[in-house]
Structures are given as C-alpha cells and as structure tokens.
Structure 1
C-alpha cells in the first residue's frame, strides 16, 4: 500500500509541475489539420485546446486582477497544450507505477489546499495567475497526487534534487513511449525535457548540420607550409 500523499498549495503553484510551458513563438505549417497534437495515437483537438484557453481567459476577465493575470500568462495556447500533453504523460507514468488517485483523495487534497490558501476564492485567484481556471483545479490536484504517488512508488522524494531527477527520468521514459507528435504551429515535443520546444523545420536542421560540419572542417584545416628560402 502506498503512503497517503498530501497536495500542498506550494506544489499547486509550482510552474514545473503544473506545466508552465516555455512561451516561445509558435511557427510552422499545418501538419495535423484539426489536431493540436497526437499522443499515443489519440488526437488532442484544436477545439479542445481552444476550449481550455477560453475557460481561463473568461475567468481571468471576470477577476479583479484580470488585466494582470492575462498579461502574466502570455501565450496561453502553448501553455495549455503543454499542460494537456504533460497530463497524459503523468497518467502513463502512473499506470506504469500501478498508482491511481481516488475522488476522495482528490477532494481531501483540494480541501487542504483551500485551507492553506485561506479560502477557496484565494486559491482560485492564485491558480488563475498560473493559467488554471476554476473548473480545471480538480485535474491539477489529481495530477499532483499522481506525481507524488509515482515518486513514492519509485522510492523517490520530490523534495530532494536526486528524487526530482529520478521522477523526471521516469516521466521522460513515459513520454517517449507515447510517441507524441505536435502540430508544428505549436512547436515540437521534447521527451527529455518533457515539454514543448520551438519547432525546427527539417531543412533548418540540415542547414545547421551542414554549417557545423563546415565549421569542424575549417577548424581542422592546417595552413600550407611556406616554401623554403
């Protein structure tokens, strides 16, 4: 039996765990019409992604600090896609570890977070600053519980750098097994970093390799000896 894990407000606000994606400019063409990404063959529809973004923006617009929240969350589309994919990775790692999160555990963890934030309204306001709408909190809490259980199941402590590295490696392996393919307009998915990175078209990669090869060749070239007098 795994030890009971407790979701803390500090964890809920963690950019690393709750997928604050690198806010790079999306580029590239439409390689996946209608899909933002493919994860283990399943589509994450652009419409679903847009719905998540809309929920956050609507909630931010209604909040007293709406302008601040909106300006502080940058390119919400990329951030939300990162979050949606990262959630699938956590689910796969949890399945591999044989751990789950019950509704009772989720409710207890959420209640604890509300208590530490000194109220549900304050918790919602804090998470909204991180791009998490009120109706997305339950999923965020579930993800936190699973991350803690994954760590415990693998003998890792998330409060320790070595434990964090171990869990990162576990998530990277889960990510690789899902064969994640992202629509280039949102970037590329890096399994090792477990996150979105800027898309690089194949011709750019080839040009970079050619430039590196030429630089190596130039660096290794020796000047011709001067003729003897």
Structure 2
C-alpha cells in the first residue's frame, strides 16, 4: 500500500502500488537523486511553500485529507519536515513510475492523463486532490500522469479496472507493486539525510533510524 501522502490522492481515484528506495550520499543542495535525476532542496522548499499557502485556503482539499487520515500542515518545526518528506516521496514516485512504464513496455498517452485528471475532477476536483496529497496545484498533471501510468501497467498485467476487488485486479496490483519496488531498487535512489530515508513497507520517507551500540544503550552483549 502507498504512504499517507500518495494514499490521499489514490484513495480518491484508484488503488496505488508500492515503492521502496534506499538512502545514500547526495550532492550538495540535493534533496534526492533518482536514477541520476536531481531534486534540489531549493525546488522542494518552493514546492512545499506553494502547497502550504494553497492548501490552507482549499476546504475541499482539507476534507479529503482528513477523510483519508492525512494531517493538516504544521507551522514550522517537525511538522514542516513531515510536509517536506511527504512531498519528496511523491516527487520521487513520479520519476520511478516513468521508468516502470518503460520496463513494462507501455506508453502513457497525454490523452489518458487528461482523462485521469477529468476523473479526478469528478471525485472532488483534480486540484483539490493534488493539494490533499501534499503537492501544489501546479503538480496536478504530474499526479494524474502517475495514476494513469499505474492504470496502463495494471491493464497490461490483466487487471479488470471495472472491478477493483476481482482476483485479476488484485494480482495486477501486486505485480505493479513488485515491479515498482524492483525498479526503484535499481535506480539507486539517494535521499538527503535531512529528510530521512525510505521505509520499504510504508513507501513514505520517514525519520532516519539510528542504531545505538550496546555501550550507548547501556546494554551488554551476551
């Protein structure tokens, strides 16, 4: 299942797949490196700043996020870092999805992304769904393309998109998740330690878990 940010958007449209990444060294000024594609700290800061300003003035986005168990934006501090982690997770997901489509041998025509955005409009508004996911309105088409990519790949795997509960669809969703994870692993995704690391089970970027030695924890080896 996806992390909390992506879950907000996909819950409103279709079921999402899984992503696992890896931490590592990043270039100075980089929030993440995804298969050689750089996401800068400056662009991430701007993305989250734009989102926060737009989100607070959109009651529909607030309701969608609340219904999906998402959190409202904080005012600085740790909550602000959580906002950054959620946005960065999505930006990484978008890049991995493009590679997944190539590996699956499918293309995502612009028309399908347009149709997906139109479906999002029917389910609460594409812009509001994008805001609820943790990204500003300018990223609406990116989110629609991500969902369209999953749709195309799952169709190739035999999904019955008219029945989300069918065994065929469930199996296709599992195959999508497996391919997503394998693709991400092969892209050598590196996250700036400031933003944490990927949780391979939850998909989100979460805090770095520091392992203490026995001396630091006050325990002794047996």
TM-score normalised over the length of structure 2: 0.69
Name the counterpart of 2:183. Answer: 174
Kept in 2: contact 1:90–1:143 (CA 8 A): yes
Whole-Å separation in 2 of the counterparts to 1:189 and 1:112: 30
CA RMSD between the two structures: 3.7
Whole-Å separation in 1 of the counterparts to 2:94 and 2:219: 37
TM-score normalised over the length of structure 1: 0.67
Name the counterpart of 2:47. Answer: 52
Select the structure of larger CA radius of gyration.
1
Name the counterpart of 1:143. Answer: 146
Aligned residues: 190
| Deviation of 1:132 (Å) | 3.3
Local SS of the residue matching 2:32: strand
Name the CA shift for 1:199/1:175 in 2 (closer, same or farther; >3 Å): same
| Deviation of 1:100 (Å) | 2.1
Superposed, 1:61-210 pairs within 5 Å as 61-64=56-59, 72-73=72-73, 74=79, 75-117=82-124, 122-156=125-159, 159=164, 160-191=169-200, 194-201=203-210, 204=211
| Deviation of 1:36 (Å) | 0.6
Instruction: Write out the 4+ residue segments of structure 1 that deviate beyond 6 Å after TM superposition.
Output: 65-70, 210-213
Whole-Å separation in 2 of the counterparts to 1:170 and 1:31: 25
Name the CA shift for 1:14/1:42 in 2 (closer, same or farther; >3 Å): same
| Deviation of 1:172 (Å) | 0.6
Whole-Å separation in 2 of the counterparts to 1:78 and 1:124: 20
Local SS of the residue matching 1:62: coil
| Deviation of 1:187 (Å) | 0.9
Name the counterpart of 2:5. Answer: none
Whole-Å separation in 1 of the counterparts to 2:181 and 2:16: 14
| Deviation of 1:212 (Å) | 10
Local SS of the residue matching 1:162: helix
Whole-Å separation in 1 of the counterparts to 2:9 and 2:26: 38
**Structure 2: segments with no counterpart, 5+ residues:** 1-7, 19-24, 74-78
